[in-house]
Amino acid sequence: LMKAGDDAGHSVADVVSFNTVMKGYSRQGDVAKCDELMSILKAKEIQPTVVTYGILLDCCINANDMGRAQKVFQEMRLAQSSDKNDQASPDKRHLGLNTVMYTTLIKGYAKEGNVDAAMDVFTEMRKAEVVPDLITFSILIKSNCDAGKVDVSLKLLDELL
């Protein structure tokens, strides 16, 4: 993508192109390649979107790297706060931590069996006034049951209903 753009004297790559390639690496759990593409994206002054960060977050989870996933989440949080303060750039895409982002992080912690961390993210999600969906609740109910915390699962089920 970048080579074709260089030959033509301009970049034909956009954030969607990068997201497409990153998604392929994400499925393989290749965090290094996704990080490399993110660096190129930023160097070319192409603004990452919430989808870009979501792909990177999912990649970290696929690679079982929750430490890196948490860093990506924090980076999004910082981008979100700078986005709110950036009134001058109407082209800048909103990088809000939405239901999908929180649920993805919850899914990662549940996948590694860390139900307490998953519940902490859920608590943070609620404090941020982000509304959980059926998927969020399903992941939390299952992970709490798997951890033997049926009472917590029942409370979550009650909250869902």
Residue 40 near residue 2 (C-beta atoms within 8 A): yes
Decide: pTM greater than 0.85: no
- Range 39-64 burial, b when 16+ CB lie within 10 A, else e: eebeeeebbbbbbbbbbbbbbbbbbe
Q: Cα dihedral sign for 27, 29, 32, 35? A: positive
Per-residue model confidence (pLDDT) at position 104: 96
Per-residue model confidence (pLDDT) at position 85: 57
Does the pLDDT at position 10 exceed 50? no
Per-residue model confidence (pLDDT) at position 84: 58
Q: Cα dihedral sign for 20, 24, 30, 33? A: negative
pLDDT in tens, 13-29: 789 999 999 999 999 99
pLDDT in tens, 96-152: 789 999 999 999 999 999 999 999 999 999 999 999 999 999 999 999 999 999 999
pLDDT in tens, 18-62: 999 999 999 999 999 999 999 999 899 888 888 999 999 999 999
Of residues 75 and 152, more confidence is placed in 152
Does the pLDDT at position 95 exceed 60? yes
Spatial separation of the C-alpha atoms in residues 16 and 21, rounded to whole Å: 9
Tokens of 52: 């870009």
